[in-house]
A and B are shown apart, each in its own frame.
Chain A
Amino acid sequence: MPELYLRLLNRILTPVLLLLALFLLVRGHNLPGGGFIAGLMAAAAFELQILSRGHQRVRRAIGPYLNSGIGLGLAVAICSGIFGLMEGHFFQGKWFEMNMPLLGHVEFGSPILFDLGVFLVVVSFATSYLLGLSRISDGAAFRSEDVDLPPAPDDARPNFSVETDQSSKESAS
């Protein structure tokens, strides 16, 4: 059972981390930040969830989407390049400007799509990797404490395809 303060910390920190990730994501085109860092930050939030609530719960909640997240992220990133074809070059930035209520003058362009794609890939990959790691370490902990629990399956290695497959089975049951 995770410690109380960890759960408390989780309550406070997870929204902060996710908001920070969002901030880094939208900030990142011309300033430090961007999809990669934001993705890692969001994955850190998920890792906090894994630590405080146990990996089974996290896997049940988001496991089935991780694989598709990688695919979706890659697809979005490439599509942002195809967007640039309208300007004449692959991956050329296409920019829209508009005046919005409250926010004022806003520009956004296809680079944010690329960042979003990178974000999705990084967060999905890193989270599925962390889930895999935590399952292995769980198995190791069981073995070292000689608790009579089922050992980790043979294919307990950080492979996302196995992860989501298992988790979809779990969520189905």
Chain B
Amino acid sequence: MALSANLLAVPVAAPLLTAALILLLAQWGGRRLIRQQIVLTTLALCLNLGVALLLFLATAGQGQRFVLQMGAWTAPFGITVYCDGLSATLLLLTALVSIAVYPFAVATIDYHRERMGFHPLYLFLLMGVNGAFLAGDLFNLYVFFEVLLMASFVLLTVGAQPAQTNSGIRYVVLNLLASTVFLVAAGVAYGTLGTLNMAQIAERLSVASPAVQTLLAGLLLVGFGSKAAIFPLFFWLPASYHTPPPAVTALFGGLLTKVGVYTLFRSFTLFFPDLLVEWRPTLLTIAGATMLVGALGALAQPSIRRLLSFHIISHVGFMLMGLAVALSGNRLAIGFGLGAAVLYLCHHMIVKTALIMAGGAVELHMGSDRLASIGGLVSRQPYLAFFFFLAAISLAGVPPFSGFVSKLSLLQITLDGRHWLVSGVSVFASLLTMINMMRLWRESFWGDYKRPSRVPSRILQSSLRQRLMLTPIAALVLLSLGLGVFGEPAFRLSMRVALQALDRKAYIEAVSPAESFSQPLPIRAAPHTSVGPFPEEADLLDRGRLIVDHAR
């Protein structure tokens, strides 16, 4: 299967173009026009899913790598768009999550928010997330971080409830701080290594001084880590996720922190493979603390959505643990840890989205999501209770589901590396997850039916809306079941993805930033100017080294 690299533009261009069309066609107000917006958005989401699936089959399935140099400007000068198995996996999961949350959103978002541009914002957020997964240089990564930050900020605050505005401001300030740290890191990379292209950074970091490496790694760990909500930097997440409508929380819970996790995976495997070994104790400590804090903090939360969103932090800890042991020599396989972490990432994105949607459905039915004041929904909503239960035990890691396979493989690799403490912590965190999930299910579904609000829930009266809400939850739960039942092929795929991500040399060769120096550039030179000979690659590398020496 020979796919054109131009396909890489689709996950960014299609949502953007559709959002632009919606802005162009919409005369804000009419319900008929909102239906058109829904149709257009659905088309874009389907196209995105199709392209992501194709890319996934070609990269993770057949081991290809795609590089698109925008406008045929070669690597260190132009915009590089890169896709390998890791990017394609995340693109596919993003497409799945966004297409699963969309019917739920259509069923539950109120008319006011739709009129204020909910649908184009959804597409802008999707575009930002996709772009971050595809970016091949640090600056574009930063740009797409900002795109998704702005889109998510507006999605958080649209509707302008006081609580929403409050949480939105905290969210945007803390995230902008993280972005600033990341921007400083990009500046450091440019100042010391003379490039922002990720392949070239990887190439030049191997000759850079350890001080530069440590500084850059530390800055990126703080910047990306706070996007991913790791231990001391997670405060923006519990402050904001519970205030927007449930559909928005489900989308955020599925997508946002995972961008941070992806960039951590990408930067540490590509830039700092040595530090991945050297810093293992630090990373494992952070991972353990993140797991523990997430699970314990969730235990103290009084309402469904607060609990579920706090719990995301705990899962980020598991993924970070997988990254920390990605390069450890073990008896299982090279890159086993990263493979397990990738599988965990897939499991988490699928199940967490389903669970937050199910929790949102409970909240919409009850009119409140305070655990103390609701109960007994199992008699009214048996299907919802069923799927909620399945998603909850999948999250906790009970055998036939995907949670079991991914947690087991993570446990295997940490035990094999004799990291007793962190593996113990991960088991304890899983136990706490189980307790949390059982608490959720017992409080909201078990017991006598009690509903705090007297107002009948209008959203749940329409059977079409109920079906729109239940179907995606059911589909995601079945997907999780499939990942668990076909655990071996799924794990083999994620191992292949991990090995591809760990293969730095192939990444650098695929982007091939060095080639651009020996080839004439596609500059449209005016006839009277002559383009001089380009310096050889060795010269430039020398110069890069000089810069580095100078910095030393």
Interface residues of A in 71-98 (CB under 8 A from B): 71-75, 78-79, 81-82, 84-85, 87-93, 95
Pick from A71, A89, A95: contact of B24, CB under 8 Å: A71
- Do A90 and B116 contact each other (CB < 8 Å), given the known contacts A74-B20, A75-B21? no
Contact between B72 and A161 (Cβ–Cβ < 8 Å)?
no
In the complex, A53 Cα to B22 Cα: how many Å?
32
Interface residues of A in 43-87 (CB under 8 A from B): 64, 67-68, 70-75, 78-79, 81-82, 84-85, 87
Pick from A68, A72, A91: contact of B71, CB under 8 Å: A91
Q: Is B115 an interface residue (CB 8 A)?
A: yes
Q: Is B485 an interface residue (CB 8 A)?
A: no
In the complex, A85 Cα to B23 Cα: how many Å?
25
Q: Report which residue of A64, A71, A72, A87 has the largest number of chain B beta carbons within 10 angstroms of its beta carbon.
A: A71
In the complex, A30 Cα to B458 Cα: how many Å?
58
Contact between A87 and B72 (Cβ–Cβ < 8 Å)?
yes
Q: Is B69 an interface residue (CB 8 A)?
A: yes
Least CB separation from B17: chain A residue:
A78
Pick from B23, B69, B116: contact of A159, CB under 8 Å: B116
Which stretch from B25-33, B166-174, B368-376 is at the chain A interface?
B25-33
**Chain B residues, CB < 8 A from A89:** 6, 68-72
- Do A93 and B23 contact each other (CB < 8 Å), given the known contacts A74-B17, A159-B116, A165-B29? no
Least CB separation from B19: chain A residue:
A74
**Chain B residues, CB < 8 A from A164:** 28
- Do A71 and B16 contact each other (CB < 8 Å), given the known contacts A90-B9, A90-B70? no
Contact between B9 and A81 (Cβ–Cβ < 8 Å)?
yes
In the complex, A67 Cα to B28 Cα: how many Å?
9
Q: Is B117 an interface residue (CB 8 A)?
A: yes
**Chain A residues, CB < 8 A from B550:** none
- Do A68 and B6 contact each other (CB < 8 Å), given the known contacts A91-B71, A92-B72, A93-B71? no
Contact between A71 and B22 (Cβ–Cβ < 8 Å)?
yes
Q: Is A155 an interface residue (CB 8 A)?
A: yes
Against A, the Cβ 8 Å flags (1 = close, 0 = not) of B329-347 are 0000000000000000000
Contact between A67 and B26 (Cβ–Cβ < 8 Å)?
yes
- Do A168 and B69 contact each other (CB < 8 Å), given the known contacts A75-B20, A85-B6? no
Contact between B115 and A161 (Cβ–Cβ < 8 Å)?
yes
Least CB separation from B6: chain A residue:
A90
In the complex, A88 Cα to B4 Cα: how many Å?
10
Contact between A165 and B28 (Cβ–Cβ < 8 Å)?
yes
**Chain A residues, CB < 8 A from B29:** 165
**Chain A residues, CB < 8 A from B24:** 68, 71-72, 75
In the complex, A155 Cα to B22 Cα: how many Å?
23
Q: Is B3 an interface residue (CB 8 A)?
A: no
In the complex, A155 Cα to B21 Cα: how many Å?
26
Least CB separation from A88: chain B residue:
B72
Query: What is the distance, in angstroms, from A14's C-beta to the closest C-beta of chain B?
Result: 27
Least CB separation from B13: chain A residue:
A78
- Do A71 and B23 contact each other (CB < 8 Å), given the known contacts A78-B16, A78-B17, A90-B9? yes
Q: Is B524 an interface residue (CB 8 A)?
A: yes
Q: Is B207 an interface residue (CB 8 A)?
A: no
Q: Is B160 an interface residue (CB 8 A)?
A: yes
Contact between A91 and B20 (Cβ–Cβ < 8 Å)?
no
- Do A67 and B6 contact each other (CB < 8 Å), given the known contacts A91-B71, A159-B116, A165-B28? no
In the complex, A124 Cα to B22 Cα: how many Å?
16
**Chain A residues, CB < 8 A from B22:** 71
- Do A168 and B72 contact each other (CB < 8 Å), given the known contacts A78-B17, A161-B117? no
Query: What is the distance, in angstroms, from B511's C-beta to the closest C-beta of chain A?
Result: 15
**Chain A residues, CB < 8 A from B68:** 89-90
Query: What is the distance, in angstroms, from A91's C-beta to the closest C-beta of chain B?
Result: 4
**Chain B residues, CB < 8 A from A168:** 27
Interface residues of A in 146-168 (CB under 8 A from B): 155, 159, 161-162, 164-165, 168
In the complex, A74 Cα to B23 Cα: how many Å?
9
Least CB separation from A73: chain B residue:
B20
In the complex, A89 Cα to B461 Cα: how many Å?
51
Contact between B23 and A67 (Cβ–Cβ < 8 Å)?
yes
Known: A70-B23, A92-B71, A92-B72. 12 other contacts (CB 8 A): A71-B22, A74-B16, A74-B19, A75-B21, A78-B20, A85-B6, A87-B72, A89-B69, A90-B8, A90-B13, A155-B160, A165-B29
- Sorted nearest first, the 4 A-B pairs with minimum C-beta distance are A71-B23, A71-B24, A74-B20, A91-B71
> Residues of B at under 8 Å CB distance from A?
6, 8-9, 13, 16-17, 19-29, 68-72, 115-117, 160, 524
17 contacts between A and B (CB under 8 A): A67-B23, A67-B26, A68-B23, A68-B24, A68-B25, A71-B21, A71-B26, A72-B20, A75-B20, A81-B9, A89-B70, A91-B71, A95-B524, A161-B115, A164-B28, A165-B115, A168-B27
